[in-house]
Amino acid sequence: MQQSQSVCVLGGGTAGWMTAAALANKFQRSAVPVTLIESEQIGTVGVGEATLPHIRFFNQALGIDERAFMRETNATFKLGIEFCDWGALGDRYIHPFGDYGLPTPDNDFHQLWLRAGKVSKVSRLDDYSYPIVAAEAGRFRIPGENPDQIGSNFGYAYQFDSNLFAKFLRGYAESAGVERQEGKVVDVAVDPESGHVRSVTLDDGRTIEADLFVDCSGFRGILIEQTLKTGYDDWSNWLPCNRAVAVPTELNGKPLPFTRATAKTAGWQWRIPLQHRTGNGHVYCSDFATDDEALKTLMDGLDARAIAEPRQLFFTTGRRKKFWNKNVVSIGLSGGFLEPLESTSIHLIQEGITNLIELFPTGELEPYDIDEYNERMGLNFERVRDFLLLHYVATQRDDSEMWRHFRNLTLPDSLQEKIDAWLTRGYVLPYEFGVFLPPSWIAVMLGQNLEPKNHDKRADRIPEADLLRYLEDIRAKTAKEAEATPVHADFLERYLADAPQAAWRTT
């Protein structure tokens, strides 16, 4: 057992600098000195441009000015993700960052809508969601103060250049006392008795010791896997995509406030608009397409001129058997990877950091803290896995080998239960840990044509005419609010026009 006083973060990608910045912000530099090692020679994975709304709370906790951050990372606003061709070819829907309509004391809004649909012709559920209607019109503004009002009951995230984000956080972390060491780790010393990592040695012979190591070394997992042999739960049977090819393009028109994910025959293609360019990539499964076919699909699907050579990436979907093993905590790609269909990787980094700070050793490393951390992170990963898998199985598509593969899949019980509860009476089973709340599940299940057989009977208590009037009132308010919302690109330009400089040196 040991005292945890000093921390060494191995890796300077998004995970490494987010971790170092957050630790430096939380603990005084003298109480918990933080060193970060990164190797320019190795570089970073360099993708990861779309995020979830929670990242705003990360930035706020660090006291980061939103406009300074957006200007330095070429960020745009994001109201959700548009999914094209998922339920069936030609279908499209938006998974919004916000609620549908407004609930009454007794009923969730979607239950009212389900019942109304049985007695009359009603608009699509999307028309009662302000973030969807605003996104479809290419409009954006910051939510209002009162979350119980249409036009205020939504969240937003960012689409940004992840390399610039890491650089931005590096400036923050260094000014908060994080010591950066440039070099490549070539050796790791392990205590033969405890099995804990004692120190790492860089290629120039320097040795860095620490009490706690955070492995942010990316897919390599230098400490968590290469050193501690922690093991990996491979989830490729459920999520078989294992490669991606990415390429940036020029902006085609004004940047839209949403990410697009278009289903293909052997995977799916992303489109992420930033201020100065668009990020594109094709995630695919090598069992169902060759690399050349995948590249052709990507290039054929671009809507503007490519401005760099395409780059290929390889991955295995899954998670480390223990995220925290001995005195090593793995955060980022070293801890596991789930395809970026719902922009969850940076969020899982944030979860890792939040839980580490909550369970940070106050003295000796406690087995309880380590188990609790592993339990929470395991649940977070599993729930994202289920949500991603839902996109592949809630579909009528059978037009390629990949889609037929999903028809014959036995689902994890946790996902099957969620689908069964929905189909029975439109109920979304709640859980404590896990990033996606009921509106997200509703968006994907309805968006991909999983229609519940019944609705919650409480929705029947409202007289039919009142119900239809209530729905129409909300639809009209939503449309009016969206119409009064500025065009995203104009809002962005005005918002960032007098953005302050970051208070720290950006390297």
Residue with tokens 């790791």: 188
- Smallest distance, Å, CB 38 to ligand FAD? 4
Of residues 51 and 485, the one with the C-beta less far from ligand FAD = 51
Largest Cα–Cα distance in the chain?
Answer: 78
Tell me if 101 is assigned to a ligand binding site. Answer: no
Residue 157, Cα to own-chain centre: how many angstroms? 10
Residue 278 contacts ligand FAD per CB under 6 A: no
Of residues 315 and 427, the one with the C-beta less far from ligand FAD = 315
Q: Is 78 a catalytic residue?
A: yes
| CA neighbor of 171 nearest in space, from 12, 58, 43 | 12
Residue 16 contacts ligand FAD per CB under 6 A: yes
Residue 295 contacts ligand FAD per CB under 6 A: no
Tell me if 12 is assigned to a ligand binding site. Answer: yes
Task: Out of 78, 264, 322, 418, pick the active-site residue.
Answer: 78
Residue 92 contacts ligand FAD per CB under 6 A: no
Among 21, 79, 112, 222, binds ligand FAD (CB under 6 A): 222
Give the interface segment with ligand FAD, choosing from 67-75, 317-325, 328-336, 376-384 (CB under 6 A).
328-336
Of residues 110 and 391, the one with the C-beta less far from ligand FAD = 391
Crossing angle of helices 464-483 and 109-119, rounded to 10°: 120
Tell me if 46 is assigned to a ligand binding site. Answer: no
* Long-range residue pairs from 293-297, CB within 8 A, at least 24 positions apart, any chain: 293/266, 294/243, 294/245, 294/266, 294/267, 295/245, 297/264, 297/265, 297/266, 297/269
Among 261, 346, 390, 394, binds ligand FAD (CB under 6 A): 346
| CA neighbor of 330 nearest in space, from 9, 3, 1 | 9
For residues 90 and 448, the answer to whether their CB atoms sit within 8 Å is no
Among 217, 242, 278, 350, binds ligand FAD (CB under 6 A): 217
CA dihedral 53, 59, 64, 67 (to 10 degrees): -20
Tokens of 397: 């598509």
How deeply is 470 buried, as exposed, middle or buried, from its count of CB atoms within 10 A (0-12, 13-18, 19+)? middle
Residue 350 contacts ligand FAD per CB under 6 A: no
Residue 261 contacts ligand FAD per CB under 6 A: no
Residue with tokens 């260094």: 174
Tell me if 78 is assigned to a ligand binding site. Answer: yes
Tell me if 185 is assigned to a ligand binding site. Answer: yes
- Residues in CB range of 483: below 8 A, 6 or more apart: 137
| CA neighbor of 242 nearest in space, from 287, 299, 296, 300 | 287
Residue 14 contacts ligand FAD per CB under 6 A: yes
Percent helix, percent strand, percent coil in the chain, to nearest 5:
40, 20, 40
What is the separation, in whole angstroms, between the first and last Cα of the chain? 38
Residue 330 contacts ligand FAD per CB under 6 A: no
Residue 269 contacts ligand FAD per CB under 6 A: no
Annotate each residue in 124-163 with x if it binds ligand FAD (CB under 6 A) or - if it does not, as one string: --------------------------------------x-
Annotate each residue in 23-52 with x if it binds ligand FAD (CB under 6 A) or - if it does not, as one string: --------------xxx--xxxx-xxxxx-
Annotated binding site: 12-15, 78, 185, 333, 342, 346
Residues that bind ligand FAD (CB under 6 A): 11-16, 37-39, 42-45, 47-51, 162, 184-185, 216-218, 220, 222, 244, 246, 281, 313, 315, 332-334, 340, 343, 345-346
Catalytic annotation, residues: 78
| Known binding residues for FAD | 12-15, 185, 333
